[in-house]
A and B are shown apart, each in its own frame.
Chain A
Amino acid sequence: MEQLEYIKSILPFMLSGLELTVKIYFGTLLIALPIGVLAAVGKVSGPPILKKILYLYTWIWRGTPLLLQLFFVFFGLPVLGIKLSPLPAAIVTYSLNYGAYLTEIFRGGLESIDKGQYEASKALGMSYGQTMRRIIIPQTIRRVLPPTCSEAVNLVKDTPMLALLGMADLLRISNQIFTRDFNITSYVLAFIIYLIISSVLVKLFGNLEKKYSVYE
């Protein structure tokens, strides 16, 4: 009972941390998705110089830890004279990081489409643009949906790194309550909240996948 009272007393504060988590989450998705699509198309059919640049981009951003990237953007860029306030800085870093992963997913998807689909389109007289837009991209979306959704779920679980930058997300706040009250309830609560969010997302994305698989 006492425990319940305690939970009730800390919950509003914890949920205020969730707000930041949610902002970062949607901000990132909104930017990372277009980056992924465009960079993937560039990687598959862009000019060699663009391909090289995009290769470099995915190599660096996939090859180093997100945490280091965050520290770099938060503390390194200002030294070079580039100043961003915390929220945009976080969103930019997350977006570039996830954009790099999504690029590779989408590229894999594009390349997995059977050559026969291109040939059939060409034999019907369709141009490259028409083929991509009408035939290849729609099939790619279906194919990359599962890994994309799983990245989207991973993102939820990467947002707690904000806590290490002093941003008051759900984890930092539960950490604060924990260290203030010497009571692990806030951690348990955080576990449950994250579990609920990722389970809900898994469910949602599952429905999305189902919707897109009508033709199978």
Chain B
Amino acid sequence: MEYILEILPVLLKGLGISLKIYVTVIVLILPLAILVAIGKVSGPQILKKILHLYTWIWRGTPLLLQLFFVYYAFPYFGITLSPFACVILAFVLNIAAYEAEIIRAGIESIDKGQYEAAKALGMSYWQTMRRIIIPQTVRRVLPATCNEAILTFKDTALVATVTLGDLMRSAKELVFADYRITPFIVAFAFYLLISSILVQLFAKLEKKYSIYE
């Protein structure tokens, strides 16, 4: 118990870094993903092709490799970002690719009748998208999006590999320095706690958005 109290400050500092990365990523992803999704559904052919390529590559390769690539290989092309910026870039590009696909599927799942009713009422394409389709899409993709959001938190454990001292790294260092597994267990508890909180939060959000059902 005393030992736990001793390591807690270090682990909490790591947790702080994990959370900082997490929040930044989450805030940036949605706008990007929505734009990509709309581009994929109704953009010009060339844009569709480019976006297809983007989602294909970023969904088809491991996040860890992308992280290494952004960190170690980008400097070869003259792009040197801070470790934090690298992590954010790799994560945002990766998760936005997944999220864009979710949103695209959401848009395409909206009943054709909704477009028709809007058209019969004289609404333009953009009015229809903004007022009718997107709001319903948001509701529909919410569960999948929340799922993604929770996975993302657990993925932050990977940032330890590019010199950031997140929760995972702090725990690891403590374990290897003290030859005790308690830090792992405390880290487990932290991750479990945070993801459970996230699950709760997102469930509330879903409930809020489901008033019309």
How far in angstroms is the closest Cβ of chain B from A94?
14
Do B181 and A157 touch across chains, with their CB atoms under 8 A apart?
no
Q: Are A65 and B65 in contact (CB under 8 A)?
A: no
Q: Residue B171 at the A interface, CB < 8 A?
A: yes
Confirm or deny: B168 has a beta carbon within 8 angstroms of a beta carbon on chain A.
yes
Inside 8 A of B195's CB, which chain A residues have their CB?
Answer: 62-64
A64 touches B154 (CB 8 A): yes
| Segment from A8-16, A23-31, A193-201 that makes contact with B | A193-201
Complex CA distance for A201 and B187, rounded to whole angstroms:
34
Interface of A is mostly: helix
| Number of A residues with CB within 8 Å of any CB on chain B | 37
- Quick one: which of B169-210 are within 8 Å of A by CB? 171-172, 175-176, 179-181, 184-185, 187-188, 191-192, 195-196
| B154 CB contacts on chain A under 8 angstroms | 63-66
Q: Once the chains bind, are A63 and B191 in contact (CB under 8 Å)? A: yes
B42-71 interface bits toward A, Cβ cutoff 8 Å, 1 = contact, 0 = none: 000000000000001101111111001100
Given contacts A79-B180, A80-B181, contact A68 B187 (CB under 8 A): yes
Q: Which of A32-40, A83-91, A110-118, A184-192 binds B?
A: A184-192
Q: Which of A70-78, A119-127, A204-212 contacts B (4 or more CB under 8 A)?
A: A70-78
A198-B73 CB under 8 A given contacts A63-B196, A187-B68: no
CB distance B73 to A68 under 8 Å? no
One digit per residue, 1 when the CB lies within 8 angstroms of any chain A CB and 0 when it does not, for chain B 108-119 equals 000000000000
In angstroms, Cα B14 to Cα A68, docked, is 14
Q: How far is the CA of A198 from the CA of B196 in the complex (A)?
A: 31
Q: Could you give 19 example pairs across A and B, Cβ below 8 Å?
A: A60-B188, A63-B192, A63-B196, A64-B191, A67-B160, A68-B157, A68-B168, A68-B188, A75-B184, A157-B62, A160-B64, A164-B64, A164-B161, A171-B65, A174-B65, A178-B72, A195-B57, A199-B56, A202-B60
Which residues in A have some Cβ–Cβ distance to B below 8 Å?
A: 59-60, 62-68, 71-72, 75-76, 79-80, 156-161, 163-164, 171, 174-175, 178, 184, 187-188, 190-191, 194-195, 198-199, 202
